[in-house]
Amino acid sequence: MAKVTGLEGVVAAETDISLVDGEKGHLIYRGYWAKDLALTCTFEQAAYLLWHGSLPDEETLAKFTAQLKTYRAMPEHIKRIMDALPQDMPLMSMMQTAISAMSTGAFAWPPTEAQAMQLTAVLPTIAAYGYRKQNRLPWHEPLDHLDHTSNYLYMLSGKLPEAPHAKALNAYLILGMEHGMNASTFSGRAVSSTQSDMASAVSAAIGAMKGPLHGGAPSEVIAMLDEIGSKSNAEPWIRDVLSRGGRLMGFGHRVYKTKDPRAEALRLVTERLTADDPWFDLAIHVEQTAIRLLEEYKPGRRLYTNVEFFAASIMRAIALPTPLFTPTFTVARVVGWTAHLLEQASVNRIFRPQSVYTGPMPQETNT
C-alpha cells in the first residue's frame, strides 16, 4: 500500500466551494476571485456566496443580514460556562469549549444553513466575551445596527470602529473564510462524516486551528519587523538570519509556489489604510529585500510573501491585540467550515483512510 505522509496530494473530496491553485497563485470562491470579493464585498455577501453558490441581490442580502443578526447573542448557558472557565485558559480553548456546548438538540444531524448562520454569528461574540473576561473588562452586548465586522470590533473595544479599520478587517475576514481542504476543514468534515452534529464538527476544526502550524503567525511577523526596526537594518538582519539557516516569518507557503493572492489583496487594503505609515513603509521595504535575498540564498525555492505578512499590517493598523490574531482568523474561517459541512452532508460517506503498520509482528510459536 502506498504511503503518503501528511496525506499531501491525496484527494479527499470533490467540492464546489473553492479552488486553491498553488502553482498559479489562484484562490477562487464559487467562481469568483477571492481577492476581488475582499475588495468589493461585505462579510455578509461573501458568507452568502459560500453557503449558496451565488451573490445575493439587494433584497435577499437585507433579509439574510437581518437573520444573521438574530443569532449574535450568546445563549445564557454558554455565558455561564464561559464565566466558569479558568481566567488564564487560552482564548481558542474557551471558544472551542463554548462551541462544543452549543451541541444541543437544535444542532442534530443533518447540518442546516440556520445552524451555520448561528455558529458564524455567535462566534465573534464568544471570542470578544472571552477576551474581555480574560482582561477583566466590562462586557458590551452586540449592537444590531452594526454590520458583522463592525460589531465584532465594537464588542472587543467598546467603541464604534473607524470606517477604514472596519473595511480593512472586513477584507481580512473574507480572505480568511475559506482555503480548500486544510487541516481544520478536513477535521470538521471527518467529524461530520460520522453524522455528528455541526457544532461538534466546528469544535473539532477549532481544535485543529489552534495548533501553531495552522493558525497563522502574524504576531511573529510583527515581532520580526519590530526587531529589524529600520530600512537600513533590513538587509544585514535578513542576511544574518538566512546565513544561519533561519526562517523569515511571513514568507513561503505549503501550497502557494508563487505570490499568495490573499497577500496581494491585503497589500492593496493596507496601502489604502496606512499609505503614510512609517511602519508599513518599512514592511514594504522588508518584503522587497527579503524576496531578493531568498532567491539568492535559496534559489529555485519560489518563496514569496504569504498572507500572514500583510495580515500583520492589518492587525497593527486596527490595533488588534496579539492574543486575538488566531481567534479572529477563526471568526473568518467558520464560514468556510460550515460551507464544507453542508456540502459533506449532501454527499456523505464516512472518512476512513488506511494506515501502514510499522510495528513488530508476534513471534511464531511451535505447538
Q: Does domain 218-317 have CATH number 2.10.260.10?
A: no
Q: C-alpha distances in angstroms, 328 versus 216, 300, 310?
A: 11, 34, 15
- Determine the average pLDDT of the residues in 345-363: 91
Domain ranges for the chain, please list them: 18-215+322-346, 218-317
The residues carrying an active-site annotation are: 253, 308
Cell representation of residue 312: 500583520
Which is more confident, 59 or 279?
59
Distance CA 76, CA 140 (A): 15
Q: Is residue 1's pLDDT more than 60?
A: no
- Determine the average pLDDT of the residues in 320-337: 95
Q: Is residue 216's pLDDT more than 80?
A: no
Which of 64-78, 137-151, 303-317, 349-363 has the weakest average pLDDT?
303-317
* Fold topology of 18-215+322-346: Citrate Synthase; domain 1 (1.10.580)
- Helix then strand then coil, % of the chain, to nearest 5: 60, 5, 40
Q: What is the pLDDT of residues 132-188, one digit of tens each?
A: 999 999 999 999 999 999 999 999 999 999 998 899 899 999 999 999 999 999 999
- Determine the average pLDDT of the residues in 265-269: 81
The predicted pLDDT at position 220 comes to 84
Q: C-alpha distances in angstroms, 192 versus 106, 265, 357, 361?
A: 15, 32, 27, 35
Of 140, 118, 184, the closest CA to residue 330 belongs to 184
The predicted pLDDT at position 275 comes to 59
Q: Is residue 229's pLDDT more than 60?
A: yes
Enumerate the β-bridge partners of residue 27: 20
- For residue 97, the surrounding DSSP H or E stretch is helix 91-100
Residues 118-149 as b/e (b if ≥16 CB within 10 A, e otherwise) read: bbbbbbbbbbbbbbbbbeeeeebebeeebbbb
- Determine the average pLDDT of the residues in 352-365: 88
The predicted pLDDT at position 325 comes to 92
The predicted pLDDT at position 207 comes to 97
The predicted pLDDT at position 203 comes to 98
Q: Is residue 276's pLDDT more than 90?
A: no
- For residue 313, the surrounding DSSP H or E stretch is helix 307-317
The predicted pLDDT at position 17 comes to 97
Beta strands at 26-29 and 32-33: parallel, antiparallel or unpaired: antiparallel
Highest mean pLDDT among 16-30, 161-175, 193-207, 217-231: 193-207
Q: Is residue 222's pLDDT more than 90?
A: no
What does DSSP assign to residue 231?
H
Which is more confident, 312 or 131?
131
The predicted pLDDT at position 331 comes to 98
Distance CA 83, CA 356 (A): 45
